[in-house]
Amino acid sequence: MPQLAYTTQPIVAPSILSADFARLADALATLETAGADWVHIDVMDGHFVPNLTIGPPVIECLREHSQLPFDVHLMIEHPERSLANYKAAGADLLTVHVETCPHLNRVIHQIKELDALAGVSLNPATPLSSIEEVLDIVDLVLIMSVNPGFGGQRFIPQTLDKLQRLKAMIGSRPIFIEVDGGISPQNAQSVRKAGAQVLVSGSAIFQANQEMKSVITQLRMPHKASTSCSG
């Protein structure tokens, strides 16, 4: 598996939460053919979020079916207790929620010592100030544009302003800015323009069926520079 490195290219990370869980290996093959960049894997524990999904044993089985980087989004309490298991199962990038980490600095270092990229995620109501002190050590910031727990929810519009402020806070640091929740070709340009580089999308991609490749291409398109109308 190639080491995941920072790039400035737009990245599409389909969430397999919207796939048929009885056919996850098929979903991975389909996503690879359709041109996905990463695979976004939503881990939910039924405590931090009101839903329960998959853990390391399933990720380990999926690892054999894909060459794409695994972007593992941990919506779980006490992530520090199981980070090594997720890395061993095949995670390339491990994202924890700041709301679950009173010792965030320690957790980020723990992820980096495992030789994975370290991401931090913020719920819609969590202020950007909660990650200000770790910007020099994180590899990715994930801005939730829905309250986490379920696929198919509506994008929260205040996310655009939050992304812009995050982009300014990050400055020239090599940090991926990822957005997750309610992302579709309809709002892809606006989240890109606001600063998001990695677009997670579940329902919009999986509902597209035969058009999956086209949806992924549309999501990946760089935002159009704003043009001024001079009459």
18 binds ligand DX5 (CB under 6 A): yes
Q: Give CA–CA dist 62/182, Å, rounded.
A: 25
Buried/exposed code over 72-91 (b: 16+ C-beta within 10 A; e: otherwise): bbbbbeebeebbbebbebbb
Beta strands in the chain (DSSP E): 11-14, 39-44, 70-75, 93-97, 117-122, 140-144, 176-180, 198-201
Residue nearest to ligand DX5 (CB): 202
Kindly tell me which residue out of 11, 12, 15, 100 binds ligand DX5, with binding defined by CB under 6 A: 15
Q: How far is the CB of 171 from ligand DX5 (least distance, A)?
A: 27
124 binds ligand DX5 (CB under 6 A): no
185 binds ligand DX5 (CB under 6 A): no
**DSSP classification of residue 135:** T
Q: How far is the CB of 98 from Zn ion (least distance, A)?
A: 15
For residue 63, give both structure tokens: 């690892």
Find which of ligand DX5, Zn ion, none residue 182 binds, CB within 5 to 8 Å per kind: ligand DX5
Q: Which residues lie below 8 Å from residue 163, measured CB to CB, with a gap of 6+?
A: 143, 177, 179, 191, 194, 195, 196
42 binds Zn ion (CB under 5 A): yes
**Which residues belong to the active site?**
42, 180
55 binds ligand DX5 (CB under 6 A): no
Q: How far is the CB of 30 from ligand DX5 (least distance, A)?
A: 16
Q: How far is the CB of 72 from ligand DX5 (least distance, A)?
A: 11
First to last CA, the chain: 53
Q: Give CA–CA dist 149/156, Å, rounded.
A: 15
180 binds Zn ion (CB under 5 A): yes
**DSSP classification of residue 173:** S
Site string for ligand DX5, 153-172 (x = CB under 6 A): x-------------------
Q: Give CA–CA dist 120/100, Å, rounded.
A: 10
* Residues near Zn ion, by CB under 5 A: 42, 73, 180
The site for ligand DX5 (CB under 6 A) is made up of 15, 17-18, 40, 42, 73, 146, 148-149, 151-153, 180-183, 200-204
